[in-house]
Amino acid sequence: MPSAGGRLIVEADGGSRGNPGVAGYGALVREADGQLLAERAAPLGTASNNVAEYTGLIEGLRAVLDLGREAAQVQVRMDSKLVVEQMSGRWKIKHEDMRRLAGEARELASAIEAAGGQVAYGWVPRDQNAAADALSNRGMDGETVRRDHAASRAQPTFGEVRAAVGEVRAAAGEEQTTAGEEQTTVGEELFSTETDPTLEGSCRLIMVRHGVTDFTRSHKLDGRGGSNPPLNDEGLAQASAAAGAVKRLIDRSGPTTVSVITSSLTRAMQTGGAIADALGLTPEVDHDWDEQAFGDWDGQTMADLVTHSGDELLALRQDPAYARPGGESRNQLTSRVNHALARAVARGGTVVVATHRLPLMVVLSRVLGVDSNRAWSIATAPASLTAYEFWPDGGVQVAFVNDTHHLHDLEDQPSTDPGADH
């Protein structure tokens, strides 16, 4: 019997100019009669074709959930025989990145199936996947697309996400984290103090802003799809210091599962990589933690923008729907960061996220219930730590913000960084 969610078609693709090279994904959702419901595309930084293709699949399945159609019979159509055969269980997955991405896709498919839906995979020739291919090329060009042509449901609460994940895992007889690691109960005899911060709760989220780059010091905008500079020598030292601070914090906090997630931008991957090395872990990349895409303003200095584009700069900061050509709005940024946050919290244990100034502001705005404009008043310096405690009922507490004690021995470290992430 057909499910109450009806029948949907997901078309997905991804590409890399260089393999690995500049990468992007594209995905869309249609009704069975061809009516377009949702479109997704975004840049992925430097990645392989296979990573981009898997990401397109993941975002297509996530769009089904965004639309509130989790009970649908979903037919996935892709021109990647590798992804189709691996997701169908006919080919083995040998590469670690592919196993991780396939696991994320299966978790989304499990959420659909737990609601009474079904997901099936089918290969199509490339010329029959032209719409998704065009979207992936827009992603490779640095453009972010997020359009729903049908009413989508409200953002899930943290409690709803954790409950849904728990139900899916219970139905599958699993007691594991997203990464396949055994869940460990967090100790209850932990206390937070101003001088020795520790965390408690079902999920302890430690967010680390990346260290400085040459763009940071010259106050140039650099968002998703931009120049993507690496950490400079000062930034590398900051990342090392932040890694030591995170390790000490986790060591004091008692037994827990730990995972490290980074954005796909180089400076965050280097910062998160230093943290993961200190913890003896392998970091995972989630591009939804990327900095906002600034489009045609990437590489521009704040001083020049204030002088020549003051009104537009004010609109970018204050109008959540305003986006630069080729960039994304605050609303688009908020949507993807909220999804990334929900996935991180659903892991449980301790989760470390290496990210950027504006994603940090999105989380602070949501947790504190303040307008995003007001969040500009909260300092989050390069290589600073901000931490939260989340509980299964959706409760959340800010443990500390903008902790930079580990940087005091480094020279010329600023305490704040005005403006957007650079």
* Residue numbers annotated as active site: 210, 291
R_g of the chain computed on alpha carbons: 21
Please choose, from the candidates 123, 215, 153, 186, the residue with its C-alpha nearest in 3D space to the C-alpha of residue 351. 186
Please choose, from the candidates 282, 245, 289, the residue with its C-alpha nearest in 3D space to the C-alpha of residue 260. 282
Q: Which two tokens stand for residue 122?
A: 């089918």
Which residue, chain included where needed, has tokens 């393999």? 19
What does the alpha-carbon distance between residue 291 and residue 421 come to, in Å, rounded to a whole number?
7
Q: Residue 16 belongs to what H/E stretch? A: strand 7-17
Phi/psi of residue 121, each to 5°?
A: -120, 135
CB 6 within 8 A of CB 32: yes
Q: Which two tokens stand for residue 14?
A: 């991804």
CB 46 within 8 A of CB 86: no
Please choose, from the candidates 356, 228, 222, the residue with its C-alpha nearest in 3D space to the C-alpha of residue 299. 222
What does the alpha-carbon distance between residue 61 and residue 135 come to, in Å, rounded to a whole number?
16
What does the alpha-carbon distance between residue 100 and residue 397 come to, in Å, rounded to a whole number?
30
422 contact partners, CB below 8 Å, separation of at least 6: 213, 215, 216, 218, 219, 220, 221, 222, 302
